[in-house]
């Protein structure tokens, strides 16, 4: 397994409508493993393929474990291919961040519960329902596959402030 380089905002690859995967092959399984390792290393709770420069509909999500004993086995790691939200209910505001937009956290409104269809790493069709943090993470990652970023839900003014902050951070990094 290897840790992949993260694509950072405003890279154009984060704005692409990603292509569906036709067949879940060994190459896809390796990519899923590498994406999971990259997510844990960051650390983050979700990662979408365009964030590592691969423009296919693939995401990994892990919203954590209940105990240290579980931590090693990663029981909550989801590796999803061609994920699709088929139903959503309610709405809830919560704070989000993104590995491609470091240092920025904002409150975003999303569906509270979702039903989702996807292929698992064996190419089998699965259905799952999610609420709470998992529902938020899944909606955030699936947005990435459509070229949508969480800051797109903010007002124009707020987006401008974020752009200014990110430019300042980049300048600081370059002068270091
Ligand atoms: Ni993100």
Query: Would you say residue 51 has pLDDT above 70?
Result: yes
pLDDT of residue 73: 77
Determine which one of 84, 106, 124, 141 is catalytic.
141
Residue 117, domain member (yes or no): yes
Q: Is the pLDDT of residue 154 over 70?
A: yes
Tell whether 121 is covered by a domain: yes
In a domain, 135, yes or no: yes
* Residue 33 resides in a domain: yes
pLDDT digits (tens, 9 = 90+) for 63-89: 987 666 667 778 899 999 999 999 999
Q: Quick check: 17 pLDDT over 90?
A: yes
**Secondary structure, 3-state, the chain:** CCCCCCCCCCCHHHHCCCECCCCCCHHHHHHHHHHHHHHHHCCCCEEEHHHHCCCECEEEECCCCCCHHHHCCCCCCEEEEEEEEEEEECCEEEEECCCCCCCCCEEEEECCEEEEEEECCCCCEEEEEEEHHHHHHHHHHHHHHCCCCHHHHCCHHHHHHHHHHHHHHHHHHHHC
Q: Are 87 and 106 in contact (CB under 8 A)?
A: no
Q: How many residues does the chain have?
A: 176
Is 141 noted as a catalytic residue in this protein? Answer: yes
**What are the structure tokens assigned to 21, written together?**
């995967």
Determine the structural domain holding residue 129 and report its residue range: 12-175
Using the Cα atoms of residue 101, residue 104, residue 109 and residue 114 in order, give the sign of their dihedral.
Answer: positive
CA distance to 103, 129, 171, per residue, from 109 (Å): 19, 18, 31
User: In 3D, which of 59, 63, 20 has the Cα closest to residue 45?
Assistant: 63
Q: What is the residue-averaged pLDDT of the chain?
A: 94
Going from the Cα of 70 to the center of ligand 1, the distance in angstroms, rounded, reads 25
Residue 16 within any structural domain of the chain: yes
Number of domains the chain contains: 1
| Protein residues placing their CB within 5 Å of the ion ligand 1 | 98
Predicted confidence at residue 70, as pLDDT, reads 67
More confident residue, 65 or 154: 154
Q: Is residue 49 part of a domain?
A: yes
Output the pLDDT for position 173. 84
* Mean pLDDT, rounded, for 32-53: 97
pLDDT at 133: 95
Q: What confidence score (pLDDT) does residue 30 get?
A: 98
* Alpha carbon of 138 to ligand 1 centroid (Å): 10
pLDDT at site 45: 96
> Does residue 6 sit within a domain?
no
Contacts of residue 59, Cβ cutoff 8 Å, sequence gap at least 6: 35, 46, 47, 48, 49, 78, 80, 83, 138, 141, 142, 144, 145
pLDDT value for 66: 67
- Report the CATH number that the domain containing residue 152 is assigned in CATH: 3.90.45.10
């Amino acid at each position: 397994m290897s840790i992949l380089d993260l694509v950072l905002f405003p890279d154009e690859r984060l704005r692409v409508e990603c292509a569906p995967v036709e067949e879940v092959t060994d190459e896809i399984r390796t990519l899923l493993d590498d994406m999971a390792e990259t997510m844990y290393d960051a650390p983050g709770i979700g990662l979408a393929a365009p964030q590592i420069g691969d423009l296919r509909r693939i995401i990994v999500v892990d919203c954590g474990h209940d105990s240290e004993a579980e931590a090693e086995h990663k029981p909550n790691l989801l590796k999803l291919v061609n994920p699709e939200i088929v139903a959503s209910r309610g709405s809830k505001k919560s704070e989000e961040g993104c590995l491609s937009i470091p240092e920025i956290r904002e409150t975003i409104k999303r569906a509270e519960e979702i039903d989702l269809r996807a292929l698992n790493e064996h190419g089998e069709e699965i259905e799952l329902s999610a609420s709470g943090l998992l529902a938020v993470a899944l909606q955030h990652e699936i947005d990435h596959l459509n070229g949508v970023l969480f800051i797109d839900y903010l007002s124009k003014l707020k987006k401008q402030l974020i752009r200014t902050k990110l430019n300042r951070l980049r300048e600081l990094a370059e002068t270091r």
